[in-house]
Structure 1
Amino acid sequence: MAGQVQQKSMSGGQANESGKYGPVPKRCVVTGGLGFVGQRLVETLVERGAEQVVSFDIVPPAANVWQHKAIKYVTADLCDYDAVLKAVEGADCVWHNAAAVGPFLPKHFYKNVNVIGTRNVLEACKQQGVRKLVFSATPSSRFTCTDDVDGKTEAEMPDIPQECYVAEYSATKAEGELLLRKACKEDEILFVAVAPHTVYGPRDNLFLPNLLEAAGVGKLRIFGSGTSRVGYTHVDNYCHGLVIAEKQLYQGSPHLGKFYVCTDGPTHPHAEGYSVFWEELDQAVTGMGFDSLYSKTALPYFLLRIIAFICDVISTMTGKKLKLGWFTLRMLTMHRWFRITAAQNDLGYQPVVSYKDGWPDTIEWFRNKWLPTFDPKTASGTTGGIAQQTVDKVKIQEQKMQK
């Protein structure tokens, strides 16, 4: 089935045969259905037997999306309540995956999508009698930029709300999750929150493109000691976690309203559940034919801190989004990996794609699909602007929001 669409994940198409992981709801809605995760989630639900999946996204479908009789593409804004109301009508479950993600978006995106959009989805579900909602959350709502997250379980992470957050994205995602938690406690909806960490895989349009672009123009260096430990989540694994979480949405479920993290877990190079970030990134860099990061001098942390401060000032004064700032610096130098104990125990989660298969598959996809489009003349370095494909999507979203 994976071969039916040019950009579908090969590993996912082989792993997700209908019925292998139990039944899925007949009528599903996925918000953000054309994003990196959302598109794969729509495909996964269809592969597992859903009769209809509404893919709701502000961005119109590309020419090469999977044209399947079970998929209905709806192009609309989450801030348009009537559109959301119509989209969720008759749904057995809604996967609220749409989000303004990362540090590179205009500030108003975060509130509009992550809070107002979530409120609209919640109210629409209540009005249409849709009882089940799986929320795509973020672990960054549970940690700060000052402390490493070195193998904490879900239970060991601080709960929301927090006094401060690592970024506007994290703050608004937490606010949206709290709206759903309150409604769940009041028996207005059945919901759980499921988060990945550093999602990767074919069609990634944020994580790897920006780093590979900097490497491709010779500007990427290892930051600091280069020993930061990070947990990864293959996109198919995250979609698997999102789908099986729906099974816990029943009256009296002990797992309602809880927060879970799904990663590649023990399939990482280090079986505790992590990879050494710069070692794995270097595999992707050299996989593109670029010079190894270990052939260049690493950048000391104190120097990077100064550069990040300057970049943040420039971004604030000009509005131009630069790759390196305080948030990005910390994300690339701190330990960020999680023990997925609760997801394993409560959801029955186990990775369906191992890291040893998923990471090479992703590198191959980027070599075949991304590299031919890479233009060093227009690419930017570590402190330059964000990757063009990220910029293009932001422009589309902004144009739609202004209508």
Structure 2
Amino acid sequence: MGEEELWCVVTGGRGFSARHLVEMLIRYDMYSVRIVDLGPSIKLDPAEEKGILGEALRSGRAQYVSADLRDKSQVLKACDGADVVFHMAAPDSSINNHELHHSVNVKGTRNIIDACIELKIKRLIYTSSASVVFDGVHGIFNGDESLAYPAKHNDSYSATKAEGEALVIKSNGRNGLLTCCIRPSSIFGPGDKLLVPSLVSAARAGKLKFLIGDGNNMYDFTYVENVAHAHICAERALASGGTVAERAAGEAFFITNREPIKFWEFVSLVLEGLGYDRPRIKVPVFLIMPIARLVEWTYRLLAPYGMKVPQFTPSRVRLLSCSRTFNCSKANDRLGYTPLVPLQEGLKRTIDSNSHLRAVSQPKKDGPSKAFLRLGGGMVADILLWKDKKQTLATIIILISIYFNFVASGCTIITAVSKLLLVACVFLFIHGILPKKIFGYTIEKIPGSYFHLTEEMSHQVALSVASSWNSSVHCLKSLCKGNDWLLFMKVGFSLLIISFLGAISLQNLFIIGLPIAFVAFLVYEKKEEEIDNLASKLSSFGCNLKSDAARKLLNSKKIQ
């Protein structure tokens, strides 16, 4: 830090994401942190009091300032003497009050910009939202920063966030101020007061037996610690000077976990982790939307008389039923951002931190089993873990039939595929010529649309392939740097396993692999703790061997 003490300001510093950024800044010892928020004083919970934040406040490395961003004089006082401002303050996004959002997200942001220019602050990082490019009608697949603001936004929060973002980008370069905007998508994690509590509240009320739409809409969720990390990456890029700063300044960046997932699958994993049933009944959007409009109209009528803000509104229905995935390659390229915490680990931490919201009627558990999560948490997991015994037995019968008809007979892959297609053609032909009823039983015909790949499904497949490709390229880049031995070992070990499996014949793979698949995951789920402990001991033993070998090598070099 040098001799001179450097200060940064975090507005909305007691908010969900901002708390994680404050702790990360203190932990990295980059700046002394000034926490700015509306409350007259800071109230720490017991964990914060004993943790890094409480210690920093007592030592003077952090301080709290009460300020209303809508009052410019208070903003000037709060920002005085700072080198950097992280502007994270915003009203609750679930409250669709345009006047409130505009006063904070637009007027408050303008006050922050003016204060930065007047006080000659060097850098301003603005927390925007991925919703600034969402119109509430059209889904977004792997959207990048070339997307324009829509003519009409989904809600007031998104519209005013876009206005604030535009102001910040426009102010770049004024009086030496460098700015950039971070657009996180669907933040989740410990300390969240909106997403998980609202899901649990709906589940307890019996409202989450239903899912809106077909349940296939894809989403990009972002773990809160990754959002904090993105802010620091942005600040470091702006502070670097030269070409790095030029490429980051005046720009907006999407931030995600880079692991798209079906929205309703994510919701189901959270609910199951807390002991609630996953939504299973699909309700079309066209049936739900009129009810949501009626709820919104009722709220507008009764809000002056104390009616609480409803969660079930048209804008919320659109959020729950549309796909929203974003490409954060630009953030990776220009800011050096990569997620610190993977999606599944973030889910586990989120579930663990909300143990007080678990279903009372069911025994406590640590969330979805690792076997369930690693199998993708969908139909494959249900089959291999025997969640649906009829489905599992049907799958086993089909696989046995495939084995005896196509594998055991010694067919080549081309012959096996040809025979399979021939059987399918014969079945479809006979099924097509059958009458609609036989002996009083109705024969359900298979519609042609059943085999049609929709544009949305094509986008999802392409997105999945592109995401896998990008992950592989990112892994390759890390390997090329030559400083990540753990990654090198993982990749090498994986390739060795693949080469081993490649040497096994298809027939042996069926005979050995399928029984293992239907037993191993089930055993792991039942004995997860014991197996994890054994794996941990083996890993620890391996690490100790590695450390001993490195130490001996170092000592031998010193002797030489």
The runs of at least 4 aligned residues of structure 1 exceeding 6 Å deviation read: none
1:279 equivalenced with 2:260 (yes/no): no
Task: Please tell me whether the aligned partners of residues 285 and 291 of structure 1 are also in contact (alpha carbons under 8 angstroms).
Answer: yes
3-state secondary structure, aligned to 1:98: coil
Which residue number corresponds to residue 345 of structure 2?
357
State the match for 2:275 in structure 1: 289
Choose the corresponding residue for 1:109, options 100, 112, 130.
Answer: 100
Q: CA deviation at 1:105?
A: 4.9
Task: Establish whether residue 309 from structure 1 lines up as the match of residue 293 from structure 2.
Answer: yes
| Among candidates 181, 198, 204, match of residue 192 of structure 2 | 204
- Name the residue aligned to 1:131: 122
Structure 1 residue 280: Cα displacement: 1.7
* Alignment match of 2:284 (pick from 296, 300, 306): 300
- Which of 310, 313, 317 aligns to 1:325? It is 313
Deviation digits for residues 236-270 of structure 1 (CA, Å, limit 9, x no counterpart): 001000111012324761221111011111xx2xx
Instruction: Report the 3-state secondary structure (helix = DSSP H, G, I; strand = E; otherwise coil) of the residue aligned with 2:180.
Output: strand
Identity %: 30
Whether the 8 Å contact between 2:276 and 2:359 is mirrored in structure 1 is no
In 2, the alpha carbon distance for the partners of 1:373 and 1:352 equals: 33
1:37 to 3, 17, 27: 17
2:232 aligns with one of 230, 240, 243: 243
Between the aligned partners of 1:234 and 1:196, the Cα distance in structure 2 is 9
The alignment status of 1:61 with 2:42, answered yes or no, reads yes
Unpaired runs of at least 5, structure 2: 362-560
Deviation of 1:207 (Å): 1.6
Asked if structure 2 preserves the Cα contact closer than 8 Å seen for 1:103 and 1:327, the reply is: no
Task: Give distance in 2, aligned partners of 1:143 and 1:361.
Answer: 29
Q: What is the aligned counterpart of 1:254 among 244, 247, 262?
A: 247
Q: CA deviation at 1:36?
A: 0.1
> Displacement, 1:373?
11
Distance of aligned partners of 1:187 and 1:178 in 2 relative to their CA distance in 1, 3 Å threshold: farther
Question: Counterpart in 2 of 1:166?
Answer: 154
The DSSP-based 3-state class of the residue aligned with 1:362 is helix
Equivalent-residue separation in structure 2 for 1:215 and 1:118 (angstroms): 37
Deviation for aligned residue 1:106? 3.6
Structure 1 counterpart SS, 2:171 = helix
Tell me whether 31-40 or 59-68 shows the greater mean CA deviation.
59-68
Of 166, 183, 188, the match for 2:171: 183
Which structure has more RCO (C-alpha within 8 Å, separation ≥ 6)?
1
> Does the CA contact (< 8 Å) of 2:117 and 2:175 recur in 1?
no
* Alpha-carbon offset, residue 341 of structure 1: 1.2
Q: Is the 8 A contact 2:168 2:181 kept in 1?
A: no
Instruction: Give me the whole-angstrom Cα distance separating, in 1, the residues matched to 2:79 and 2:26.
Output: 17
* Alignment partners' CA distance in 1, 2:320 and 2:248: 33
* CA distance in structure 2 between the aligned counterparts of 1:312 and 1:54, rounded to whole angstroms: 39
TM-superposed deviation, 1:187: 4.8
Query: What amino acid sits opposite 1:257 in the alignment?
Result: G
Distance 1:37 1:345 in 2: 23
Secondary structure of 2:212's match? coil
- 1:154–1:341 Cα contact (<8 Å) kept: no
Structure 1 residue 133 displacement after superposition: 0.3
Deviation track 1:145-176 (CA, whole Å, cap 9, x = no partner) reads 11100112223x22x4x422111111111111
In the alignment, the residues of structure 1 paired with residue 285 and residue 264 of structure 2 have an alpha-carbon distance, to the nearest angstrom, of 14
Deviations 1:7-63 (A, max 9, x none): xxxxxxxxxxxx9xxxxx931100000000011111110011134101101134323
Amino acid at match of 1:303: L
CA deviation digits over 1:182-223, x for unaligned, max 9? Answer: 221545521000111000000001122112210122111211
Q: 2 CA distance for matches of 1:30 and 1:182? A: 21
Selected match of 2:223 from 220, 231, 234: 234
1:213 to 201, 221, 227: 201
Deviates further, 96-105 or 60-69: 60-69
Task: Tell me the equivalent position of 1:388.
Answer: none
1:35 maps to amino acid: G
Cross-structure match for 1:118: 109
Deviation at 1:323, TM superposition (A): 0.5
Paired residues, number: 338
Q: Tell me how far apart the structure 1 counterparts of residues 169 and 324 of structure 2 sit (CA, whole Å).
A: 25
CA contact (8 A) 1:26 1:49 kept: no
Distance 1:372 1:133, change over 3 A: farther
What TM-score do the two structures reach when normalised by structure 1?
0.79
Output one character per residue of 1:83-113: Cα deviation in whole Å (capped at 9) or x when no partner: 2111111111100000124132543220111
Instruction: Determine helix, strand or coil for the equivalent of 2:248.
Output: coil
How far apart are the structure 1 equivalents of 2:27 and 2:117?
Answer: 28
Contact in 1 for aligned 2:87/2:126 (Cα 8 Å): yes
AA at the equivalent of 2:15? G
Local SS of the residue matching 2:65? strand
Q: Is the 1:52–1:71 contact (alpha carbons within 8 Å) kept by the matching residues of 2? A: yes
Looking at structure 1, the residues matched to 143 and 30 of structure 2 have their Cα atoms a distance apart, in angstroms, of 35
Q: How far apart, CA to CA, are the structure 1 residues paired with 2:360 and 2:99?
A: 31
Secondary structure in 2 matching 1:73: strand
User: Is the aligned partner of 1:92 residue 2:83?
Assistant: yes
Q: Does 1:346 align with 2:346?
A: no
| Higher relative helix content | 2
**Which structure's CA Rg is the greater one?**
2
1:302 & 1:143 partners in 2: Cα distance?
20
- 2:152 is paired with a residue of what secondary structure? coil
Which runs of 5 or more residues in structure 1 are unaligned?
A: 1-18, 20-24, 269-273, 375-403
